Amino acid sequence: MKIRKNLPNYLVFGFFAVAGGLWLAQSNGPRTVAGNQIIVKIPQLTAQAAEGKKAFDSTCGQCHGLNGAGTDKGPPLVHDIYNPGHHADEAFFVATRFGVRQHHWPFGDMPAQAQVPKEEIVKIVRYVRELQAANGIVYREHRM
């Protein structure tokens, strides 16, 4: 009987708890600003990631945008689709070496960037992973 009497209070509390949880979840990750471009929180980078940023800016940024935020030519890499459980680090090496067929986004195929040395790709991946982590994108097991 007491639960029935307090049911409206429980419903109101439940509503605000769910709404607050959704707001918090949305506010912790990257936010879309225009098209596929997102707002990216920039962390304090390790030395290797800082070198990766330079390489990213000169090779990848033209399509994937400043800080991996995306452009009208390529998707944001600071996006949950690229979390390490769905796209392991090796996927970045394969994409750079051989290119990628369009599959997640409507930008067409990504051409190979075979001119980028493996050592530079290592640094680029470190940079992208540090950006992702700072924006709440962490390993999540991929399930089909």
Residue 5 pLDDT greater than 80, yes or no = no
Is the residue at 92 inside a domain?
A: yes
Is the residue at 17 inside a domain?
A: no
Q: How many domains does the chain have?
A: 1
User: Domain containing 124 — which CATH number?
Assistant: 1.10.760.10
Return the sign of the alpha-carbon dihedral for residues 38, 104, 46, 137: positive
102-139 burial, b for 16+ CB within 10 Å, e for fewer? eeeeebeebeebeebeeebbbbbbbbbbbbbbbbebee
pLDDT in the model for residue 35: 58
In this prediction the pTM is 0.75
Contact 99, 110 (CB under 8 A): yes
pLDDT in the model for residue 8: 58
**3-state SS, residue 106:** coil
Take residue 78 and report the two structure tokens written for it.
């600071």
Is the residue at 99 inside a domain?
A: yes
Q: Which domain holds residue 94?
A: 31-134
Is the residue at 108 inside a domain?
A: yes
